[in-house]
Structure 1
Amino acid sequence: MFKIFQEYKSISWLLAQEKYIDFSPNYQRMGRVWNKEQKQLLIDSVINGFDIPKIYFQFMPQNNNTLCYNYAVIDGKQRLEAIFDFLKNELALSDPFVFINDADKKYSNIAGKTFFEIDNVAPSIISRILEYELCIVFMDTDSPDIINETFIRLNSGVAVNTAEKRNASGGNLAQQMKTLYMTSPFFTDKIRMTNARYAHFDLALKFLMIEMGYEDLGKKTVDRFVSSEKDFDIECQQALERVKSKINCFINEFDDKDKLLSKKSLIVTLYSIVDEIPVGKLKKFIKYFELSREIAMGREDKINSDPKMIEFTRLLQQGADKKFSLDGRREIMLEYLHIFLTIE
């Protein structure tokens, strides 16, 4: 089944429907990508009556009694977040805001004010906001592939990054990765990496690929993996259990938001050799390794610096996901591990 149609709905209708809207279905990008100025500009457009781009909603399946949502956001999440931030008094108009249809300057005093503050001095503007009609396209389908394809097509011209596209590919693989990075303390507590633009999804996916024997984590290889393993077969399930076991080693040794776990490529390298590191030595080793690298890179006389550490740093920065870089970093880190274990 597939139906698509559009209707104009007021912001007051949207406000009434908020609790029935799923803002974060599997295919969605992470929220809060827009900055304050972008959100203020959208509210400016609403008040002044300018058109804003269409918003796309999926009708949620009616036969799933476990869901309380009527709709899921396919496209327009950032616009909706801006609108709700303003309605909830979490966003004010910009200081230079001007109401265009105000020849006698009756509303010049609303610039810089929040929704509640405007309601006190200019309730007619609030009515104007709530009556503003959004063009909403509704998609009624029970096919996840159609929804995922729609999301990617709609966002392909607005800088959707690679991890977001992979997350939007759907299937059990994407869901399993999402569950991992949203529930494991390794991702939620230990690493000092934000999850902006699905960075945690990307890291979890690369851990899984390492466990499945992949030696190259470049874009084309990962894209093929996501496409071919969408159903998450028994081999993927077994690999995921190994991932969970290994990241538990990190959970047991590292502090929350540990600065030693702030660089994705370094984390991937360390993960790839974690089986070689004795229990209880993981943090000590990477601290020793990073101190050695800092000393080498800090020397003005690079000729007499440790060439392997200089090479390791270069490989972190150039083609970090390619096989040659992964192999090179792993080899260098293993050499330092052997040195570390002899002096411990």
Structure 2
Amino acid sequence: MATINEQINIESHTIKWVIDSMRATRLTVDNSFQRNYVWLEKHQIKLIETILMGFPIPEIYLWQKETDAKTGDMKLSIIDGQQRLGAILDFINDEFALTSTSLDEENIKKEYTGKKFSELTDEFRNAIWEFKLSIRFVNKTIERSDVVTMFLRLNSTNMTLNPQELRNAEFEGAFIKAAAEISENPFWESHSIFNVQDLRRMNDIQFISSILMFFRLGIGEDTTQANFNKVYDLYNKEYQEKIDDQKLFYLIVAETEKIIGGDKEIERFLKKKTHLYSLFLVIYYFIKKQGGVQQKQIEQYKKFVEAYNDNEKLIAHFKDLKTQSEINEYKKLSSTGTQGKTNRMRRNDILKDILE
């Protein structure tokens, strides 16, 4: 039986061929491998600089999917190389310029410095169009599971992908789909919970997954990468609680909106995911206990946030020395070892005591 490697053909194609294939949608990104575009502009510029210098870039892996019966064109999916091809397409579409701050010092005085693609000389534009890419075509007969294994092994010793991005490639089932659907809720964007880099690195999906994992396993489980993998595997094929968990998640989000209430200080406070995680868990407690947060909890949380970094307000809002001590303890727990089980459980207990 032929090995996987023996079912991969290596060909050389110009950038022109690749761009034409992308524009004609014969070549597409498979988001089940890499959900978001990861590279920043400085990374894109470095790649274009490499091409203009005439140096090779890493191989591209494409998966042959099916043939279009009308045109005879082979449909291709990008397994590995999304960032590289995306950067090339963006540059050719004039979406960024080759700013000098991102170029090597030896190239700052070159004619292409500061230029967009359309502003380059014909010589430089042709150098890009004619640049040869080494492409590995993965035969369509290869099973998806083997393609995923290959993708993971290609990236296992590469720091460009974090554990959540690798999980996105390995698991395409019910659990990650549930998290992805929740990530589309307007709550995250309206309060700027995740920055651009968070979204690119799928930190939003990991955070949402941590809450769903709490629903399934309880607070007593550590939020380690091993446990994330365990839950993704356990609920990959079948996630019967998906609808109920999503409804509960959206209810927690709605109760969080009540607590934020347009308060910019609370909004800034919750940008730290440790605080948001703790608030979500304590809201879960109040939903189970009394159907949601009441005015008392809303007012107490506002006082808690105001007192967090202001000792005068700490004393003014909380006369009880025990509560003052607990808030100081919460601060310490929020700055060291935030993911540990004991740490999270204690933060949860403190927050419940303050809000009740």
Tell me whether the two structures share a fold, i.e. TM-score over 0.5: yes
Question: Cα distance 1:316–1:83, how it changes in 2: closer, same or farther (>3 A)?
Answer: same
Q: Structure 2 residue aligned with 1:39, among 37, 44, 48?
A: 44
Alignment match of 1:201 (pick from 198, 202, 205): 205
**In structure 2, C-alpha distance between the alignment counterparts of 1:4 and 1:189, rounded to whole Å:** 45
Q: Find 1:230's aligned residue among 226, 233, 236.
A: 236
What SS class does the counterpart of residue 115 from structure 2 fall into?
A: coil
* 1:181-200 equivalences in 2 (<5 Å): 181-182=183-184, 184-194=185-195, 195-200=199-204
Distance verdict in 2 for CA 1:294–1:252, change over 3 Å: closer
Matches of 2:46 and 2:165 in 1, distance apart? 25
1:137 matched to which residue of 2? 136
Q: Does 1:264 align with 2:273?
A: yes
**1:17-61 CA deviation, whole Å, 9 max, x = no partner?**
124233351220521x33333322211111221110011222335
2:178 corresponds, among 171, 176, 179, to: 176
2:32 counterpart of 1:26: yes
Contact 2:283/2:293, CA 8 A, preserved across alignment? no
Paired residue for 1:310? 328
SS of the residue aligned with 2:307? helix
Q: Is 1:87–1:115's contact at 8 Å kept on the other side of the alignment?
A: yes
Partner of residue 318, structure 2: none
1:111-170 CA distance string (max 9 Å, x none): 22111111xxx2122112101111112223463322332222222223222221222222
Kindly indicate whether residue 94 of structure 2 is the aligned counterpart of residue 92 of structure 1. no
Match of 1:341 in 2: none
8 Å CA contact 1:208–1:236 kept in 2: the answer is no
Tell me which residue corresponds to 2:12: 8
SS at match of 2:78: strand
1:327 pairs with 345, 352, 356, which one? 345
Matched with 1:126 is: 125
Matched, 1:274 2:275: no
Give the aligned residue type for 2:190. Answer: D
What's the secondary structure of 2:202's corresponding residue?
Answer: helix
CA distance in 1, matches of 2:129, 2:231: 46
Counterpart of 1:295? 307
Residue pair 2:258, 2:298 contacting (<8 A) in 1 also:
no
SS in 1 for 2:136: strand
How far apart in 2 are the matches of 1:272 and 1:213?
13
Q: How many Å separate the matches in 2 of 1:76 and 1:318?
A: 37
Q: Return closer, same or farther for 1:6/1:214 CA change in 2, 3 Å cut-off.
A: farther
| Partners of 1:224 and 1:251 in 2: CA distance | 31
User: Which residue number in structure 1 is paired with residue 256 of structure 2?
Assistant: 250
Tell me the TM-score normalized by structure 2.
Answer: 0.78
Tell whether 2:62 aligns with 1:48: no
Provide the aligned C-alpha RMSD in A.
Answer: 3.6
- Bigger drift between 224-233 and 8-17 goes to 224-233
Aligned ranges 1:149-164 → 2 under 5 Å: 149-159=149-159, 160-164=161-165
The answer to whether the Cα contact below 8 Å between 1:145 and 1:170 also exists between their aligned partners in 2 is no
SS of 1:109's equivalent in the other structure is coil
Q: 1:43 to 1:8 in 2, by over 3 A?
A: same
Counterpart code for 2:36: M
Mapped partners of 1:176, 1:62: distance in 2: 32
Cα 1:238–1:91 shift into 2, 3 Å? same
Structure 1 gaps of 5+ residues are 339-344
Report the AA paired with residue 252 of structure 2.
K
Q: Structure 1 residues 260, 224: closer, same or farther in 2, change over 3 A? A: same
